[in-house]
């Protein structure tokens, strides 16, 4: 989770794409379009901080609840999510947000 947040803050679309599971609703087959969308989001957003609230693993599944402080167009907000990750080939990949 921390590496993905840092990648967003630095505008590293490749890392976001590389750590997203192919079954994720965020995954896109057209890498150029997907990269452009991530890059645009990163340019329009100031990433102000990340707090990991909880994390747990059970086998090859993991959950991370986090709160990310963001600013877009001068408006500050907080994104809170309980994220599902799965381990594949020794790497943790983001799947989706889950209901808390």
Asked whether the whole model's pTM tops 0.85, one would answer yes
- Report which secondary-structure segment, H or E, holds 33: helix 31-44
CA 31/CA 71 separation, integer angstroms:
26
Mean pLDDT of the chain: 97
The pLDDT tens digits for 12-61 are: 999 999 999 999 999 999 999 999 999 999 999 999 999 999 999 999 99
For the chain, the farthest-separated pair of C-alpha atoms sits apart, in whole angstroms, at 41
* Percent of the chain scoring above 90 in pLDDT: 97
């Amino acid at each position: 989770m921390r590496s993905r947040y840092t990648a967003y803050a630095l505008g590293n679309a490749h890392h976001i794409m590389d750590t997203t599971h192919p079954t994720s609703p965020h995954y896109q087959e057209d890498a150029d379009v997907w990269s452009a969308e991530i890059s645009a989001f990163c340019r329009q957003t100031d990433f102000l901080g990340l707090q990991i609230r909880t994390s747990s693993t059970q086998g090859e599944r993991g959950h991370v609840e986090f709160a990310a402080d963001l600013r877009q167009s001068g408006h500050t907000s907080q994104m809170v999510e309980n994220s599902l990750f799965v381990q594949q080939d020794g790497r943790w990949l983001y799947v989706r947000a889950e209901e808390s």
